[in-house]
Structure 1
Amino acid sequence: MTTKSLRAPASAQSVPFTFIDLFAGIGGMRLAFDSVGGRCVFTSEWNVHAQKTYADNHRDNRPLEGDITKVHTDDIPDHDVLVAGFPCQPFSIAGVSKKNSLGRKHGFEDETQGTLFFDVARVIAAKRPAAFLLENVKNLKSHDKGRTFEVILRTLREELGYHVEHAVLDGNGFVPQHRERMVIVGFRDKTSFSFSDLVLPKKGSRKLSEILHPEDGSETAEAPFTEGPFATVNPKYILTDGLWRYLQGYAEKHRAKGNGFGFGLVDGDGVARTLSARYYKDGSEILISRGEGLNPRRLTPRECARLMGYPESFRITVSDTQAYKQFGNSVAVPMFSAVAKHMMPHLAQVLATPRAA
């Protein structure tokens, strides 16, 4: 049995373009933009474990940059598309009139200073790429009572002059997982880009059976995830009696209080909850049923990679703990491949337009 690929095909409308990968993680967005013909010319990621995974899978003849806050824009190459999954932080917004009275700036340099979005904004301001794609959690819109999103959109539209569209998209259908993310796309020039005509697969059309180890010998064993002639899952991923009792008791306690907290027990016919960076702790959000009377198990890191739409060739060269964190922090690759493909004709239009002096 060969696990079905969850990656979107490369776009037939691809145009040659360059892009940079900020807050790159392990390169999920990189894979999406590679798939539509892009060439990555700069990467920044501060976490050393994510740097290792990225470097082991994206063999570039250039070093990865670390902390983007320490990189001067003169050291970032010109590029056509900026891609960033920046962390969400609150902004402190004071009234423009008050700032004027104090003789202070009230553009993005002041409003976003001290946040990681500032570093996205300063690169866009300096390099003026034809387009950008920004990704964040779905709650970005309500973060800090809506003020964070307000500043982001005002900065991108009014301060930087880009034409911006945004939408919350769910990876469910691209992968067998509920995974909602805020996606923000901007173009330097006016285009007809809209999320309304982005074709999305039917939710629930992908099942967990597509990404689970078959354990029947049809898959080659991959240590330490699977072992033996039938490539069965390593017993270390099965919950201990103590942990399984604890999770059941925890769930029952909250059910009695009318809360929805508890574990997520699923089988091959289901769709998983959102994989989180805390999965390494107890795996409670996605537990795989092994049948009645048997303790469930966690997903293996390889199954997590598949659940996020990474290709089978993707190398997992870090500890299980780090791998769980990395995939839990990553993006559903085929969903962003679809967005990148949707951007291509609009990007071609902007690249064909002479740039204003």
Structure 2
Amino acid sequence: MENKKIKVAELFAGVGGFRLGLEKSNYEIVWSNQWEPSTKLQHASKVYEARFGKENHSNQDIATVPTKDIPDHDLLVGGFPCQDYSVATTLHNSKGLKGKKGVLWWTIHRILEEKKKKPKYLFLENVDRLLKSPASQRGRDFAVMLQSLNDLGYAVEWRVINAAEYGMPQRRRRVFFIGYHKSTSTCKSINKISKEKWLVEDGTMASAFPVGQTISLQEIELSGDLVEITNEFNKEGKLSPFHNTGIMINGKVYTGKTIPSYDGPRKVLGDILQNGEVTNEFFIDKDDLPKWDYLKGSKKEVRKTKDGYEYNYAEGSMIFPDALDNASRTIITGEGGKSASRFKHVVNSDRGLRRLTPVELERLNMFPDNHTELEGITDTKRAFFMGNALVVGVIEKIGEELYQRIKNND
């Protein structure tokens, strides 16, 4: 298996962050899908095709793609949307339980359920809020997800990773999961080893992103089917039982808090700037400065709702302009465009205050320069892509560790 490529299907592909990270190791994307439901022009898919070619790329609503049209693969990857994963009803047919239509988690579930040759590995990403949602039953959505993967024969390891804590140029916190099918040697190894040792030393995540603290693991038994978990999980609890690190195997969850351990080089916002090459439209007009100052500043004021109801509003100030000697704040989808905003990045350059360019936003996510540049795609749209993207360096490091494990074990 020395040079055998690991076959990957990439769902919710966006502009290809997973692919860029995985192709640094011996992975081959055999099929990809990107579909934006709310827009007629499929901009992200166009960028993906321009960079990686049209072959084996699908720009069709994934919910309508028959499983038989997706080629067999060893690894299924994707950053799926954070939605309500609750299960509404039990069906009395062989299909068992099904979640709500339009919730894309159940599309992943369907593919895993219907594939005769199931992928042996999963590598998925989401916002870390998933571990705590919904507010009325903290952690319920994640419990539904874990139990549904347990039913399909997978063990799941997860970790919340903030890219900047491992030297990358953006403070972007996301939860990453790896699923191991019970037929893999890795799954068999997890069964035999101490779960704490796996999570802090030997596991894929701990090897890719070391932690410096041992943890006292809490055990949670996932009991009941998906409807029962939907209705009953953590009904009384104010806090989610799921911490930033954990593993689920055979319906048992082991979870605790870890602290990153990293003393390597660090990239900061100042390192990625395109100074000297920036065109005028990114500079803030002096007349607009008061607006930026107001939005970035602290506020205590009385505001009115549309119905005329008055309430006290308060918020703290943001660093303005952004500090160049630290990793940047998280890029959001509304990063582009000229209008003043509390959340857009602003840097001080030799020619005055300015917003970040599309290339700088790409660099903060560790994409190649001009990856999203394409005729007909505006700078605002390019910024939107980066607000939705992931930090490629995180995918690369986890992908590398996972590859070594697959090569050596399976």
- Other-structure match for 2:119: 129
**Distance in 1 between residues matched to 2:3 and 2:363, nearest whole Å:** 25
SS in 1 for 2:21: helix
Q: Which residue in 1 is equivalent to 2:170?
A: 177
> 1:31 aligned to 2:20?
yes
In terms of mean alpha carbon deviation, does 76-85 or 146-155 score higher? 146-155
Instruction: Give the number of equivalent residue pairs.
Output: 314
The two structures have a TM-score, normalised by structure 1, of: 0.80
Write the letter of the residue equivalent to 1:335: V
Aligned to 2:222: none
Secondary structure at the counterpart of residue 91 of structure 1: coil
Cα displacement string for residues 280-320 of structure 1 (whole angstroms, at most 9, x for unaligned residues) = 254633211236xx752111001111111012363511211
Assess, with a 3 A threshold, how the Cα gap between structure 1 residues 111 and 175 changes in structure 2: closer, same or farther. same
Distance 1:246 1:106, change over 3 A: farther
Find 1:198's aligned residue among 208, 217, 226.
208
Distance in structure 2 (CA, Å) of the matches to 1:315 and 1:302: 9
1:82 match: secondary structure:
strand
Q: Which residue of 1 aligns with 2:358?
A: 301
Matches within 5 A, 1:14-29: 15-29=4-18
Tell me by how many angstroms 1:259 deviates: 2.1
Alignment of 1:82-101 (within 5 A): 82-93=76-87
Listed one character per residue, the Cα deviations across residues 204-257 of structure 1 (whole Å, up to 9, x for unaligned) are: 811122210132xxxxxxxxxxxxxxxx31110112234321121133352676
Equivalences for residues 269-348 of structure 1 within 5 A? 269-281=325-337, 282=340, 284-290=343-349, 295-312=352-369, 314-317=371-374, 318-348=377-407
1:93–1:239 distance in 2 versus 1, CA, 3 Å: same
Structure 1 counterpart of 2:153: 161
Report matched runs for 1:16-165 at 5 Å: 16-47=5-36, 48-93=42-87, 103=92, 107=96, 109-111=97-99, 113-127=101-115, 128-144=118-134, 145-157=138-150, 159-165=151-157
Q: Which moved more, 1:55-64 or 1:329-338?
A: 55-64
Distance 1:124 1:261 in 2: 46
Pair 1:260 & 2:316 matched: yes
The alignment yields a C-alpha RMSD, in angstroms, of 2.6
What is the TM-score when the length of structure 2 is the normalising length?
0.70
Bigger relative CO (Cα 8 Å, ≥ 6 apart)? 1
Once the two structures are superposed, residues 261-282 of structure 1 have per-residue CA deviations (whole angstroms, 9 ceiling, x without a partner) of 5465224323210001111254
Name the SS for the 2:381 alignment partner: helix
Number of the residue aligned with 2:286: 241
SS in 1 for 2:60: coil
Structure 1 pair 287–204 and aligned structure 2 pair: CA distance change class (3 A): farther
The alpha carbon displacement at 1:199 in A equals: 3.3
AA aligned to 2:273 is L
Q: Which whole-Å CA distance do the structure 1 matches of 2:4 and 2:300 have between them?
A: 53
Stretches of structure 2 that go unaligned for 5 or more consecutive residues are: 37-41, 191-202, 211-261, 302-312
Work out the CA distance in 2 between the residues paired with 1:114 and 1:60: 26
Task: Note the C-alpha offset of 1:349.
Answer: 5.2
Q: Which has the higher strand share?
A: 2
Post-superposition CA distance 1:26-55 (Å, at most 9, x none): 000011111111111111111301011111
Q: Percent identity, aligned pairs only?
A: 27
Please identify, of 327-336 and 309-318, the stretch whose mean Cα deviation from structure 2 is larger: 309-318
In the aligned structure 2, how far is the partner of 1:15 from the partner of 1:255?
A: 61
Shift of 1:148: 1.2
Alpha-carbon distance between aligned partners in 2 of 1:68 and 1:143, rounded to the nearest angstrom: 24
